[in-house]
Chains A and B, each alone.
Chain A
Amino acid sequence: MHGLGELKEKAEKALQKKAPFGEDINLDQFDSAPVLHSYMADEDLCGIPQEEQKRLIMAGLDVTKKERGGTFFQKDTSVIHCHSPQEGIEVLPVRKALEKDWIGEYFWKLAQVDVDKYTASAALDLHDGYVIRALPGSKSIYPVQACLYLDKEGLQQNVHNLIITEEGSELHIITGCSTSPHMKKGIHIGISEFFVKKNAKLSFTMIHNWAEDMHVRPRSVARVEEGGLFLNNYICMKPVRSLQMYPTTYLEGENAVARFYSIIVGSPGSEYDLGGRIFLKKPGNKAEIVARAISNGGKIIARGHLIGEVAEIKAHLECKGLLLKGGLIHAIPELEGHADGVEMSHEAAVGKIAQEEISYLMSRGLGEEEATSTIVRGFLNVDIPGLPSQLKAEIDRVIEQSDKDMM
Chain B
Amino acid sequence: MLVIEDLKVELGDKVILQHIDLEIKPGETHVLFGPNGSGKTSLLMTIMGYPQYKVVEGSMIFKGKDITFMPINERARLGIGMSYQRPPTIHGLKTRQMVNICAGGVVDVGGLAQRVNFADFLDRDVNAGFSGGEIKRSELLQLMAQNPDLMLFDEPESGVDMENIHLIGKTIARLLEKDFNSVSGEKSKMQKKMERTKMGLIITHTGYILDYVAADKGQVLFDGRLSCISNPREILSCIGKSGYEECVRCMA
Q: Flag whether A334 is at the interface (Cβ < 8 A).
A: no
Chain B contacts for A354, CB-based, 8 A = 88
Contacts of B49 in A (CB 8 A): 363
Contact with B along A368-383 (1 / 0, CB 8 A): 1001001101111110
Q: Would you call A367 and B73 a contact (CB within 8 A)?
A: yes
Contacts of A361 in B (CB 8 A): 90, 101
Chain B residues 55-86 with CB under 8 Å of chain A are 71-73, 75-77, 81-82, 84
Q: How far is the CB of A140 from chain B (nearest CB, A)?
A: 27
A26 to B50, CA, bound (A): 53
CA of A365 to CA of B98 in the docked complex: distance in angstroms? 11
A106 interfacial by beta-carbon distance below 8 Å: no
| Residues of A contacting B84 in the complex (Cβ-Cβ under 8 angstroms) | 360
Report the nearest A residue to B45, measured CB to CB.
Answer: A359
Partner among B77, B125, B142, B146 whose Cβ is within 8 Å of the Cβ of A378: B125
Asked if A362 contacts B87 (CB within 8 A), the reply is no
Task: Note all chain B residues with C-beta closer than 8 A to A367.
Answer: 73
- In the complex the two chains form, is B88's CB within 8 Å of A357's CB? yes
Indicate whether A359 sits within 8 Å of B51 (C-beta atoms), given known contacts A368-B73, A375-B93, A382-B92.
Answer: yes
Tell me, rounded to whole Å, the shortest Cβ–Cβ distance linking B77 to chain A: 6
Distance of A378 Cα from B94 Cα, bound (Å): 8
Contact A374 B101, beta carbon cutoff 8 Å? yes
B102 located at the interface, meaning its Cβ lies under 8 Å from any Cβ of chain A in the complex: yes
Report whether A374 and B102 are in contact in the complex, using a CB–CB cutoff of 8 Å: no
The CA-CA distance from A367 to B82 in the complex, in Å, is: 16
B90 touches A357 (CB 8 A): yes
Q: How far is the CB of A261 from chain B (nearest CB, A)?
A: 13
Q: Is B48 an interface residue (CB 8 A)?
A: yes
In the complex, chain A residues whose CB is within 8 Å of the CB of B72: 359, 362-363
Q: How far is the CA of A367 from the CA of B81 in the complex (A)?
A: 15
Considering the complex, which residues of chain B in the window 132-191 have a beta carbon less than 8 Å from any beta carbon of chain A?
142, 146
- Please measure, in the bound complex, the distance between the C-alpha atom of A295 and the C-alpha atom of B167, giving whole angstroms: 45
B105 to chain A, nearest CB (A): 10
Q: Least Cβ distance of B188 to chain A in Å?
A: 35
| B1-58, CB < 8 A from A | 48-52
What's the least CB distance linking B49 to chain A, in Å?
8
Cβ contact within 8 Å between A365 and B77: yes
When the two chains form their complex, are residues A365 and B88 in contact, meaning their CB atoms are under 8 A apart?
no
For the complex, give the distance between the alpha carbons of A364 and B77 in Å.
Answer: 9
Tell whether A332 is near chain B: CB-to-CB under 8 Å: no
Residues of B within 8 A of A366 (CB): 73, 101
| Cα A360 to Cα B48 with chains together (Å) | 10
A31–B75 Cα gap in the complex (Å)? 60
Q: What residues on A are CB-neighbors of B125 within 8 Å?
A: 378
**Quick check: is A356 within 8 A (CB to CB) of the other chain?**
yes
Which B110-142 residues have C-beta < 8 A from chain A? Answer: 125, 142
Residues in A whose Cβ lies below 8 Å from that of B98: 364
**Which chain A residues lie closer than 8 Å to B241 at the CB level?**
none
The answer on a CB contact under 8 Å between B146 and A360 is no
CB pair A363–B92 under 8 Å, yes or no, is no
Give Cα A361–Cα B142 distance, bound, in whole angstroms: 11
Task: Report how far A364 CA is from B51 CA in the complex, Å.
Answer: 16
A368 touches B90 (CB 8 A): no
Instruction: Confirm or deny: B91 has a beta carbon within 8 angstroms of a beta carbon on chain A.
Output: yes
Complex interface: chain B residues within 8 A of A380 (CB): 92
Bound CA–CA A363/B72 (angstroms)? 6
Q: Is the CB of B71 within 8 A of A368?
A: yes
Closest Cβ of chain A to B107, distance in Å, is: 13
Q: Are A379 and B101 in contact, with the CB atoms below 8 A?
A: no
* B50 A359 Cβ-Cβ under 8 A: yes
One digit per residue, 1 when the CB lies within 8 angstroms of any chain B CB and 0 when it does not, for chain A 159-187 equals 00000000000000000000000000000
Q: Decide: A365 near B76, CB < 8 A? Known: A359-B50, A360-B87, A378-B125.
A: yes
For the complex formed, measure the closest distance between the CB of B220 and the CB atoms of chain A, giving whole angstroms: 26
A379 nearest CB neighbor, chain B only? B92
A365 CB, nearest partner CB in chain B, Å: 5
Which of B52, B76, B93 makes the CB contact (< 8 A) with A362?
B76
Does B243 interact with chain A (Cβ within 8 Å)?
A: no
Known A359-B51, A359-B72, A374-B101; judge A364-B146 contact (CB<8 A).
yes
Given contacts A359-B51, A359-B72, contact A364 B90 (CB under 8 A): no
Q: Contacts A363-B81, A374-B101: A379 and B71 contacting too (C-beta < 8 A)?
A: no
- Residues on A with C-beta less than 8 A from B240 are none
Q: CB within 8 Å of B: which residues of A?
A: 354-357, 359-368, 371, 374-375, 377-382
Q: What are 18 contact pairs spanning A and B, CB under 8 A?
A: A360-B88, A360-B90, A361-B101, A362-B71, A362-B76, A363-B73, A363-B75, A364-B81, A364-B98, A364-B142, A365-B101, A366-B73, A375-B90, A378-B91, A380-B92, A381-B92, A381-B93, A382-B92
**3 pairs of A and B residues whose beta carbons are closest in the complex:** A378-B92, A381-B92, A362-B72
Chain B residues with a Cβ under 8 A of chain A: 48-52, 71-73, 75-77, 81-82, 84, 87-88, 90-93, 98, 101-102, 104, 125, 142, 146
Known: A378-B125, A381-B93. 18 other contacts (CB 8 A): A357-B90, A359-B50, A360-B88, A361-B101, A362-B73, A363-B49, A363-B73, A363-B76, A364-B81, A365-B77, A365-B101, A368-B73, A371-B73, A375-B93, A377-B93, A378-B90, A378-B91, A379-B92
